[in-house]
Amino acid sequence: RAKDEGKNNYRIYDDTLNVDAEEKIYIKNSLRRALDNDEFDIYYQPQVEIKSREIIGLEALIRWNHPKRGPIPPSVFIPIAEECGLIEPIGEWVLRTVCKQSRAWQDAGADPIRVAVNLSARQFKQRGKLTEMIKTILAETGLDPAYLELEITENLAMQDENAETLQELRNLQITISIDDFGTHYSSLSYLKRLPIDKIKIDRSFVGGISKEPKDEAIIQAILLLASHLGLTIIAEGVETKDQLAFLQHNHCHDIQGYLYYPPQKADSIPRILSNHSPEYELAAEKG
Ligand code: C2E
Ligand code: MG
Ligand code: MG
Ligand code: MG
């Protein structure tokens, strides 16, 4: 795409857009340089306990500001990074950046808070290596593992060969959560076999609240399942007061979504943590 290197090639990537083969190669090549060029950043989205409105955690979300194309969403570049073997160095950068940042907030006097990092299945592939890498980063940064959470998908949890690594991570006192729960092809039996702490209800179900009775039924079933299994549960993608009311009525504990906070720059987090008042944020958000 040499001719696209001019200045009018800023484009908006749509999550649902299928990136064509040529574009993929372009992204692949840019990804190789992105770490060295410092093009990645981490945003943090607060997770809120419904009852107390307190922030009980943060999810770290990677951002890529491409020098020519502008922001490219993770839904576009993460799958490509997974395909070409770049997710390992990127994933390691994310973990190190988050642990360092989390420790820095604590050192600056903030109340310690757990931060969740998304993991790709590929990061589990080299046996033992992931655990070693995380141990090294924890030692390096001095972060207490109790303040680290790892988000994995059902697919990853389902694979027997990942059980040992998950147990190792859990033994370190790291929290393990299942992301996008209910959207993958999987059996539920891993929930009894594996050391899972937390389930995240996918936002596709949350989006159906007040619109699609089947989505509501699925959410109610997931909430019951989690409560009987003693799992912590959080709903993702909560955007409206109606959704919040439904979740609260059905005894969901925690939520994450634009209603309270969109993902935030690291700089904003200490102020938000000391404020404890989502309403205050409502006006300032979406900027
Ligand atoms: P996810 O882990 O399920 O993250 C939640 C996504 O929902 C984020 O999208 C977040 O910005 C978005 N979101 C939060 N609240 C709302 C809401 O109220 N409404 C709507 N419509 N969306 C909301 P984002 O940041 O674009 O990330 C997309 C996916 O990319 C993530 O989904 C995760 O699977 C992956 N990802 C992000 N960062 C990383 C990373 O560091 N490593 C890996 N391996 N994957 C990552
Ligand atoms: Mg996630
Ligand atoms: Mg995910
Ligand atoms: Mg999710």
> Each residue of 99-157: pLDDT tens digit?
999 999 999 999 999 999 999 999 988 778 999 999 999 999 999 999 999 999 999 98
Report helix, strand or coil for 60: strand
Output the CA–CA distances (angstroms, integers) from residue 11 to 28, 68, 84, 171, 263, in the order listed.
16, 9, 23, 44, 21
pLDDT surpassing 60 at residue 10? no
Question: For residue 180, which ligand has an atom nearest its CA?
Answer: 4
Question: For residue 154, which ligand has an atom nearest its CA?
Answer: 3
Q: Whose CA is nearest to atom 19 of ligand 1?
A: 237
Whether the CB-CB separation of 105 and 270 falls below 8 Å is answered with: yes
Pull the structure tokens for residue 124: 């589990």
| Alpha carbon of 171 to ligand 4 centroid (Å) | 24
In this prediction, residue 282 carries a pLDDT of 52
Query: Residue 1 and residue 93: Cα distance in Å, rounded?
Result: 28
Helix (H) or strand (E) holding 175: strand 175-181
pLDDT surpassing 80 at residue 230? yes
% of the chain surpassing 90 pLDDT = 79
Is residue 180 in contact with ligand 1, taking CB distance under 6 Å? Answer: yes
pLDDT surpassing 90 at residue 85? yes
pLDDT surpassing 60 at residue 66? yes
Q: Whose CA is nearest to atom 12 of ligand 1?
A: 237
Asked if the interface predicted TM-score (ipTM) of this complex is over 0.95, the answer is: yes
Is residue 239 in contact with ligand 1, taking CB distance under 6 Å? Answer: yes
Is residue 74 in contact with ligand 1, taking CB distance under 6 Å? Answer: yes
